[in-house]
Amino acid sequence: MKKLLLPLFLLLLNQTYAQTPMQIHQRAILVDTHNDFLSNELITHFDGGKLQATGNFDLVRAKEGGLDVQVFSIWCGPQYGKGTAFKFANREIDSLYALINRYPNRIALVRNAAQLERAVKQGKLAAMIGVEGGHMIEDRMDYIDSLAKRGMCYLTLTWNNSTSWASSATDETLHRDSLKHIGLTEFGKQIVHHLNDLGVMIDLSHPGEQTFYDVLATTTKPVIASHSCAYALNPFRRNLKDDQLKALAKNGGVVFVNFYSGFVDSTYTRKQNRFLRAHKTELDSLERVYHDRDLAAIRLNALHKAESDQIRPPLSLLIKHIDYIAKLIGVDHVGIGSDFDGAESYPLGMDDVSDYPKITAELLKLGYTEKDIDKILGGNFIRVLKANTGK
């Protein structure tokens, strides 16, 4: 009898151990669809392969947090236009290629789900490229082709600035009367079709509401919102309304929840503005050093961590956005798009890429199954990627 009981005991013990949050987290393929490390790296010259004392990402902390796939954002502001924006985008892609060349045993560029899964099995971070802002194609189809050849897996049709062919959420909300067009133009629809043909995912995180619906009426493939939250919980122009979320789910797409405190918490922006005013002289000095207002704000918050921590939202509020979207449109249509290194503040406990396991632990507390968590952490992204690329 003892010989029979011992194997049964060991089996039960193993099953219990396998269900711990960290084991579930490490077994899943974790995908983060939006990180701005590359934009900052061009200014700071940080080596992403080494542990960094500042910022939210490096390969050391990524491994600790169980991160398997990172979509790196390629971004530049609206001050870059025709003749400069495309060149700047390629400069950022060059910096990612350089990181991969320095650490080929730890990170690999992937373009589709098959390559992604192969890199994960090899223990490498699967690196992908998301171009954040349609102004970087400079109204040229051949530039789309060039970026796709270099690895672009999604194009965010606009950033906060509109293009000549698509209006942004910022402009549709704040500058509607001055827009020459609202939504997609005919050329914009041609771009959508071309992206579909290339297998490049269309990202609707920054485009305006009219552009959002015009895209859904035009695309033949599932779309994504790479870093957005729920408007019902925080009525900010960059967050998605319930009807948008439902339409995205009907399309088969996925919204990847943004960690930025200003999108998560409706009270944060007012408190952050008060913080910035209190430290205006120092903020101005930091801007002269970094030549970038957003990066200066990131450094200011880090320098006054105890003070800035007091206005960060709780982790539970971030989880509430994930839970709200999952309950509204289904667990098949929500994922993770942190916006790490792209903002000055995230919820308490989410300091960098090593903190992802906390999300898994919190979802388990809410009753999400291991299968549900697999989908949220990465399965939903892989499904949409396959639907766009065909492999």
Mean local confidence (pLDDT), 171-197: 95
The letter for the amino acid at 384 is V
Which residue from 137, 144, 176 is spatially nearest to 158, judged by alpha carbons?
137
Residue-wise pLDDT for 284-327, tens only, equals 998 898 888 888 898 899 899 899 999 999 999 999 999 999 99
Residues in the chain: 391
Mean local confidence (pLDDT), 339-360: 97
Contact between 248 and 258 under an 8 Å Cβ cutoff? The reply is no
Which residue from 130, 147, 129 is spatially nearest to 138, judged by alpha carbons?
147
Mean local confidence (pLDDT), 107-118: 98
Contact between 318 and 262 under an 8 Å Cβ cutoff? The reply is no
Helix axis angle, 280-290 relative to 268-278, nearest 10°? 90
Asked if pLDDT for residue 66 goes beyond 60, the answer is yes
Contact between 235 and 264 under an 8 Å Cβ cutoff? The reply is no
E strand or H helix at 107, and its extent? strand 107-109
Partners of 71 in beta bridges: 128
Asked if pLDDT for residue 72 goes beyond 80, the answer is yes
Distances (CA, A) of 99 to 35, 50, 58, 147: 15, 11, 11, 18
Mean local confidence (pLDDT), 238-250: 98
pLDDT at 5: 52
Determine how many CB atoms are found less than 10 A away from the CB of residue 326: 20
Give CA–CA dist 112/186, Å, rounded: 29
Which residue from 154, 326, 294, 67 is spatially nearest to 59, judged by alpha carbons?
67
Asked if pLDDT for residue 25 goes beyond 50, the answer is yes
Determine how many CB atoms are found less than 10 A away from the CB of residue 181: 15
Give CA–CA dist 339/260, Å, rounded: 7
CATH 3.20.20.140 in the chain, residue ranges? 29-266+315-389
Contact between 73 and 35 under an 8 Å Cβ cutoff? The reply is yes
pTM score over 0.85? yes
And the tokens for 284? 């101005």
E strand or H helix at 190, and its extent? helix 186-198
pLDDT cut 70: percent of the chain above it: 95
pLDDT at 4: 47
pLDDT at 292: 83
Residue-wise pLDDT for 200-212, tens only, equals 999 999 999 999 9
Asked if pLDDT for residue 45 goes beyond 70, the answer is yes
Residue-wise pLDDT for 124-170, tens only, equals 999 999 999 999 999 999 999 999 999 999 999 999 999 999 999 99
CATH fold of 29-266+315-389 reads TIM Barrel (3.20.20)
DSSP 8-state secondary structure symbol assigned to residue 128: E
